[in-house]
Structure 1
């Protein structure tokens, strides 16, 4: 194994697979962010299980909270008054489960932490095929974010898990 990589881990299937793939070539640092999502308690338990499975040392685990996203609202994932929309939303529509600019907030935390701990790569399990209406799951979004990150010392690169 070589460079240290941060993996954003929600505790869901996509981030679990992303952690497994990242571990094949990198030492892991795991990041979990509570943004006020309704499923946080289950996600946090799964996060701890993943960290334990890979024996990630405590100094390479970061759990943090940005509950202001739930205060901003606009998403059925963070607002219990909103119903979760049917999963079969046309690709041109943004689903109610989209949390406005969530991945940007999560990645910014990862880049900041990566600069401190010397991580050279950041992995996120965002899968466009699952949520084509999510603006922050599209390849063009990650290209733009990587252009921004080039200005950060250490030049971390964001890698996104893609289905084979």
Structure 2
């Protein structure tokens, strides 16, 4: 996969969840010579385990890492399985209905806005995040239309404070999760040190929607999956 416009950012702020997608973005940028600031968010999500993995990945890359405390948002953005313990985490392959229960309203807009502010303040010339094509059906803030409009907003809203080459990067926005796994293998992502599961137990549960998506992505990519899944994962415990 080639760098957008064939030019590596000098310094990129990466929205880093500790998951497979954002970690691959970070390794891809680092492999192309970019300095990284990795930005994670505590937005009152159901568990904080993913943040521990984000710290681990930042350490591996020798990158600055910051956690933005937006903890009160979980209470305000209720009704999602990711922020509300009263909403069940869906199992199995995603459907439009089950994916809808994992939507956190305006989440990417909030995170991108903060990341752009950090980039402007630190003189970075790019902000990157890991949205991919599998998210498009239900998550409106993971679509190309949203991304293109937000990029315009970021430039207009910071006119005079960002250079002409300032970019928002979503390198996988038109690619599948399996494509991300393939790129991750190429750039040396330590897959076992990433976290996807929505339940946040000792192991990946292996049954929730995002675990199911993770398992399938490795299988479709033809890449060995080092993830250890729980015994309840329909016989796929590893």
Are 2:88 and 1:78 equivalent residues in the alignment? no
> What is the aligned residue count?
159
1:65 aligns with 2:69: yes
For 1:19 and 1:106, the matched residues in 2 are separated by 16
Q: 1:10 aligns with which of 1, 14, 17?
A: 17
In the alignment, the residues of structure 1 paired with residue 103 and residue 16 of structure 2 have an alpha-carbon distance, to the nearest angstrom, of 18
- SS of alignment partner, residue 150 of structure 1: helix
The alpha-carbon deviation at position 94 of structure 1 amounts to 5.8
Compared CA separation, residues 115 and 29, structure 1 to 2 (3 A): same
> How does the TM-score come out when normalised to structure 2?
0.62
Matched, 1:48 2:48: no
Change (3 A) 1:133 1:54: same
1:88 to 82, 91, 94: 94
* Greater alpha carbon shift after TM alignment, 138-147 vs 154-163: 154-163
CA RMSD of aligned residues (A): 1.9
Between Structure 1 and Structure 2, which shows a larger proportion of strand residues? 1
2-side partners of 1:77 and 1:97: how far apart?
A: 6
- SS of the residue 1:7 aligns to: strand
Pick from 15, 21, 29: which aligns with 1:22?
29
1:122 alignment partner in structure 2: 127
- In the alignment, the residues of structure 1 paired with residue 36 and residue 169 of structure 2 have an alpha-carbon distance, to the nearest angstrom, of 14
Matches of 1:148 and 1:23, distance apart in 2: 26
SS in 1 for 2:127: strand
5+ residue gaps, structure 2, are: 1-7, 180-238
- Give the distance between the partners of 2:56 and 2:105, measured in 1 at CA: 28
**Pair 68,131 (structure 1): closer, same or farther in 2 beyond 3 Å:** farther
Taking the aligned partners of 2:83 and 2:131, their CA distance within structure 1 comes to 18
The equivalent position to 2:167 in structure 1, one of 149, 157, 161, is: 157
User: How many Å apart are 1:131 and its aligned residue?
Assistant: 5.2
**Length-normalised TM-score, structure 1:** 0.88
Cα distance, 1:35 vs. partner?
0.7
